[in-house]
Structure formats: C-alpha cells, structure tokens
C-alpha cells in the first residue's frame, strides 16, 4: 500500500506527517501494541516512501513519547511502566485540578463544553456504546483542561492522554474499566458549573487516584501474564 496523499478536496500534507499520523492512529487503536517493533525499512516498503521519510515520522512519534528508539538497535512502541503511569497521573492531577481552580475566568462556551462532554459520556453508557465511552470521557477531561486557557497545556495534556492509551492497549477489558467513572464525570461537571470548585477538585483528585490505581493494577496483571 502506498500513501494516498491526495484525498478528495484535502490539501496534501507532507508524506512524513502522513506516515506519522497513520502510525499514531494504529498505536491509538491498539493495532500496534506496546513493544511492537517499528523497522524503518519495512515501513518504508509498506507505505511506499523512502526510509528518511519514515525516520522523520518515527522521530516525531519519539518526541511525543509514543515510540522509543535505541541507536542502531531499533524503534518500538513504548511500553508504559507503573512509574510512567504514576508520573502521567501526577501530571493529570496537577493540570485538571489546576484548571478547575482557574475556571472562574472561563467562558460560558468552555463550561458548556464540559457539560456536553459529561452528557455525551452518559448517553453512550445508556445506549451501550462502550466503544465510545472512553473517547467521550477523554473529551470530558480535555474540556476540563481547556478551562485553564493555555494552548500549550492543552497540547501537553493531549500528549499525556496519547501515552496513557498505551496502558489500555495491554488491559483486558476497557469497558469494564470505564463504566465506573462516567457517573463521576457528571458529578464533577455539575460542581464546576455550580462554582463549587474546591469540591470539584476534591472529587477529581479522588477520581484520578482511583483510576491510577486501577490502571496500575491492570498493567501489573498484564505484566504477570506476559511472563
């Protein structure tokens, strides 16, 4: 297969960015699991581009923390350790609680986005559309972080979320994991909209602490299963 860069009506992106996007999508969708080798010669042949183009893409993914490279030994999809997950959740608590505390200055549109995202999570649970619950929950957390009103913070958070996706890739049953939190999305959104920020941050901290524990448990279980 070669890259189809000239999709209908879309401006062409540089080939390296297209390869990066494709690889990122495969990682996000679990088609490339943590530890999967990424050999630049093989990918170049698969995508019908040169090795240097694939190198560019892999380097960008490495900068995002999704890929690790060892000099002259190869690249692979990152495998998150328990320490990584703890680090990511420490960062999440900082960003999400900080953003909630800053929400007094947020626009109505930002607050409505938080509300909508919480409602979307609930809706997907009601309709049994488990595949979308995780995505909707992520959208909720993204909307919360946007309350901080910093594009750089938004990008950092999205990067953390992408890395966190790597943990889900090795866990057995994501939907069982997600269902616990949706009710809390709604609770936290209601507290934020009511201006009860201290309560909202306390609940968000609890939420993230429990979520971290569950994911670390899941990742450890997966590690044991691998041995």
One character per residue 154-173, x = contact with a copy of itself (rule: CB under 8 A)? --x---x-------------
Residue 149, sorted as left (phi over 0), alpha (psi -120 to 50) or beta, turns out to be left
C-beta of 2: minimal distance to DNA in Å? 8
Smallest distance from the beta carbon of 17 to a copy of itself, in angstroms? 10
Q: Under rule CB under 8 A, which residues in 171-200 are in contact with a copy of itself?
A: none
Measured between its terminal Cα atoms, the distance across the chain in Å is: 35
SS3 12: coil
DSSP state of 29: T
For the bound state, the minimum distance from the C-beta of residue 12 to DNA, rounded and expressed in Å, comes to 5
Q: How far, in Å, CA of 177 to CA of 72, rounded?
A: 39
For residues 8 and 46, what is the distance between their CA atoms, to the nearest angstrom?
22
Q: How far is the CB of 36 from a copy of itself (least distance, A)?
A: 22
| Binding interface with a copy of itself (CB under 8 A) | 14, 52, 55-56, 59-60, 63, 65, 71, 87-88, 90-91, 94-95, 97-99, 102, 148-153, 156, 160
């Amino acid at each position: 297969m070669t890259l189809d860069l000239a999709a209908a009506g879309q401006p062409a992106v540089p080939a390296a960015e297209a390869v990066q996007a494709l690889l990122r999508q495969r990682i996000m969708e679990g088609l490339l699991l943590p530890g999967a080798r990424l050999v630049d010669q093989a990918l170049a042949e698969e995508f019908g581009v040169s090795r240097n183009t694939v190198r560019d893409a892999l380097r960008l993914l490495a900068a995002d923390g999704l890929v690790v490279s060892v000099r002259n030994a190869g690249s692979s999809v990152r495998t998150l350790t328990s320490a990584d997950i703890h680090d990511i959740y420490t960062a999440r608590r900082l960003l999400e609680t900080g953003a909630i505390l800053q929400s007094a200055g947020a626009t109505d549109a930002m607050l409505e986005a938080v509300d909508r995202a919480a409602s979307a999570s609930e809706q997907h649970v009601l309709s049994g559309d488990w595949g979308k619950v995780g995505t909707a929950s992520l959208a909720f957390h993204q909307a919360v972080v946007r309350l901080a009103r910093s594009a750089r913070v938004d990008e950092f958070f999205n990067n953390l979320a992408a890395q966190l996706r790597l943990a889900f890739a090795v866990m057995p049953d994501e939907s069982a994991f997600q269902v616990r939190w949706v009710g809390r999305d709604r609770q936290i959104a209601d507290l934020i909209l009511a201006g009860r920020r201290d309560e909202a941050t306390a609940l968000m901290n609890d939420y993230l602490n429990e979520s971290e524990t569950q994911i670390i448990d899941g990742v450890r279980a997966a590690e044991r299963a691998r041995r």
